[in-house]
Amino acid sequence: MNFALAVYGAPYSSQASGSALRFARAATAAGHKIERVFFYHDGVTVANESIVAPQDESDLPTEWTALATEHQFELAVCIAASLKRGVVNETEQQRYETPSATLKQGFEIVGLGQLVDAVINAHRLVTFAA
Amino acid sequence: MTSKKILFLLRSPPYAGSQAYETLESLLVTAVFDQEVSVLFADDGVYQLLKEQDPSGIGTRSVGAGLKALSTYDVERVYASTASLEERGVPLGDVDLAVETLDAEQISALIAGQDAVISG
């Protein structure tokens, strides 16, 4: 089965990102494919490279990028949702002249069309609400 | 491109953060991709339907004005939960948008007939 995941909740404020990560880990371990993980709404903040995870809690941003690298799927961050939450890549940092780029390596800033594309190409969309 | 039946299940109130407006944006983008889009307003999402919304005092965009774009994007399957409307005291007289009301059984059938449900 080919899954698209949508993650709406911010890490550490909501269980969405942690649950989605564990789902993705279980799905890939069982031989399923992840088409794309699409972070939307507050979910985009997981891509903020300045996040410092507490020592005794999951480092969600890094665990996401490690799993995505291992299983070759995309961590897509909605551009409209991320700009207003301070998650910018170098292109957007230059365009809007913000103090620094904040996007963690391994995440991609994309348009909403990539959510539609994932839904069209996957067998199932699984949403992790805030 | 493959055309899929995609239901947007709108359950968020219009002005409790960005969720309602952002979900509306994803709905309109999906419609541009020539998918078979339906919309169901349920739970607090029915508050999005109230006419004459004026959020100018809270510095945010009007969800009500955004919803007027649905017909422009050829989104014509627009539904609302009868129970949610009744529970929240939202009469259809306070709704500008043309919506078809559905009971629980009809909502189950609507959801069962979709390829994907995007909630927000």
Q: Do B19 and A81 touch (CB under 8 A)?
A: no
The pTM score is 0.94
Interface pTM (ipTM) of the complex? 0.90
Q: Give me the domains of chain B, ranges plus CATH numbers.
A: 5-119 (3.40.1260.10)
The 10s digit of each residue's pLDDT in B7-60 is 999 999 999 999 999 999 999 999 999 899 999 999 999 999 999 999 999 999
Q: Which residue's structure tokens are 């698209």? A: A4
The 10s digit of each residue's pLDDT in A80-112 is 999 999 999 999 999 999 999 999 999 999 999
Nearest chain B residue (CA) to A130: B120
Q: Which of A78, A116, A125 sits opposite B35 (nearest CB)?
A: A116
Q: What is the DSSP letter of A38?
A: E
Neighbours of B44 (CB within 10 A): 17
Chain-centroid distance, C-alpha A72: 14
Residue span of the structural domain in which A72 resides: 2-128
Q: How many domains does chain A have?
A: 1
For residues A53 and A57, give the distance between their C-alpha atoms in angstroms, rounded to a whole number.
7
For residues B115 and B92, give the distance between their C-alpha atoms in angstroms, rounded to a whole number.
29
Q: Which chain B residues have any C-beta within 8 angstroms of a chain A C-beta? A: 1-2, 4, 6, 18-19, 22-23, 25-26, 29-30, 33, 35, 115-120
Give the residue from B53, B51, B49 showing the smallest Cα distance to B62: B53
B109 Cβ contact partners less than 8 Å away, ≥ 6 residues apart: none
For residues B4 and B30, give the distance between their C-alpha atoms in angstroms, rounded to a whole number.
10
Neighbours of B52 (CB within 10 A): 8
- CATH code where residue A84 lies: 3.40.1260.10
